[in-house]
């Protein structure tokens, strides 16, 4: 497949130019004839980079498209559609601008599928890992109403809010992760270089070592003398942890743990509430029916219990009940204020606007909570690191103190 820029005329002498994907110039001419046009001139676009395609395509499967890059694509696609750029051409232009090779390939295939006459929402369904159900459902409504650009604007706002929310939570975790990482590296350095020197000194002094000292020396021996095994065990544990965190089968267990950790449980509730309310309000504003909105919004959440609450609420609302009533059994997840505000929105016919206001409130609460957590984590880290250093120092110098006391 190749991208062609072409010029064509019909029997009335009207000229048309644009971009089309075809296997060859002859197929390009055939596709134009089917539309009632005759090819005048064409130029092949050589935009697709070549390289080690087999290798890159293998690793591409494991690469996730960043939310910031999808936000960039959505914003620019909205502008192009508003200015009248045809969809296939818009996708080709944006494919040249995005950085991810996986995203480039996906956009070109979607553009090709649209050229064949398939709707945008169906073409996006070819890549559910890149464009989730909320994206496709919102654009499907836009296609039905003839306002795709408005749907894209709603999606862009939703993604921007989600990106900002997740960025704030991640930013709060940067400091503790960096401190723990440096502490771990210093610990390994001490075990590999300092402890063996102390072990030699203890052997020359021929003294009886306490249990804590023997434990540290044995661990240092394991790291220095059997480092391939130690490295394999470390990498194995890292892989197991990664699989555990990514696996959907352990979703309920992970969700239970995160909702019970004293410091983080409130933040988890606020973050998931903000995401649920923002996603639901975006879908309702786009014109998606409330039952379908609840089903789609549940798929956008990671927490098992929040996801379950929206799925069950969808079943209740489908039977004719109101959303505020459907969420009543989940007061351990949603605060009474949320349920009361939704009820007011239903009575006034402004549920979408109320959900947006609630989402903005919780997003601000998440920002405040992350700042508080940062201030709490710092002294806890100091206590933790101080305890580890104190234990190490006591264990290594206790034998020396015993010898000095015996002299």
pLDDT tens-digit readout, 273-312: 888 888 888 888 888 888 988 988 888 788 889 989 999 9
303 sits in which H/E element = none
Q: Report the 10 Å Cβ neighbour count for 7.
A: 15
- What is the CATH class of 1-46? alpha beta
Domain ranges in the chain? 1-46, 170-407
What does the pLDDT read at residue 371? 76
55-59, 140-144, 270-274: the lowest-pLDDT one: 55-59
Transcribe 148-200 into DSSP letters: HHHHHHHHHHHHHHHHHHHHHHHHHHHHHHHHHHHHHHHHHHIIIIIHHHHHH
CATH fold group of domain 170-407:
Receptor-associated Protein (1.20.81)
Q: Confirm whether pTM is higher than 0.75.
A: no
Tokens for 314?
A: 């969808």
* Per-residue confidence (pLDDT) for residue 54, from 0 to 100: 43
The average confidence (pLDDT) of the chain is 82
């Amino acid at each position: 497949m190749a991208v062609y820029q072409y010029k064509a005329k019909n029997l009335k002498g009207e000229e048309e130019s644009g971009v089309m994907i075809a296997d060859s110039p002859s197929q390009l001419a055939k596709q134009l004839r089917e539309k009632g046009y005759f090819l005048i001139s064409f130029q092949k676009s050589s935009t697709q980079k070549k390289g080690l395609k087999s290798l890159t395509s293998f690793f591409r499967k494991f690469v996730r498209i960043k939310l910031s890059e999808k936000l960039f694509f959505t914003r620019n696609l909205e502008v192009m559609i508003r200015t009248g750029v045809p969809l296939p051409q818009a996708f080709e232009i944006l494919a040249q601008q995005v950085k991810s090779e996986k995203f480039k390939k996906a956009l070109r295939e979607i553009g090709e599928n649209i050229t064949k006459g398939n709707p945008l929402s169906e073409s996006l369904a070819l890549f559910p890992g890149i464009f989730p159900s909320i994206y496709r459902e919102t654009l499907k409504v836009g296609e039905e109403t003839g306002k795709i650009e408005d749907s894209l604007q709603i999606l862009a706002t939703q993604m921007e809010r989600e990106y900002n929310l997740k960025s704030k939570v991640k930013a709060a975790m940067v400091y503790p992760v960096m401190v723990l990482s440096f502490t771990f590296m210093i610990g390994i350095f001490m075990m590999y270089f300092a402890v063996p020197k102390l072990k030699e000194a203890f052997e020359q002094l021929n003294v009886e070592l306490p249990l804590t000292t023997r434990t540290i020396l044995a661990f240092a021996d394991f790291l220095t003398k059997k480092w391939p095994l130690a490295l394999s065990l470390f990498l194995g544990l890292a892989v197991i942890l990664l699989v555990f965190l990514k696996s959907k089968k352990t979703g309920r267990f992970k969700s239970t743990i995160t909702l019970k950790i004293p410091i983080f449980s409130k933040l988890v509730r606020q973050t998931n509430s903000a995401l649920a309310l923002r996603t639901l309000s975006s879908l309702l504003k786009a014109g998606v029916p409330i039952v379908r909105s609840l089903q789609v919004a549940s798929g956008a959440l990671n927490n098992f219990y929040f996801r379950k609450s929206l799925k069950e609420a969808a079943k209740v609302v489908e039977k004719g009940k109101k959303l505020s009533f459907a969420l009543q059994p989940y007061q351990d997840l949603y605060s009474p204020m949320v349920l009361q505000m939704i009820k007011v929105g239903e009575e006034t016919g402004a549920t979408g606007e109320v959900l947006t206001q609630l989402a903005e409130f919780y997003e601000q609460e998440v920002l405040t909570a992350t700042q508080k957590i940062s201030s709490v984590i710092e002294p806890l880290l100091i206590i933790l690191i101080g305890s580890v250093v104190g234990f190490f120092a006591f264990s290594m110098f206790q034998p020396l103190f015993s010898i000095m006391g015996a002299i």
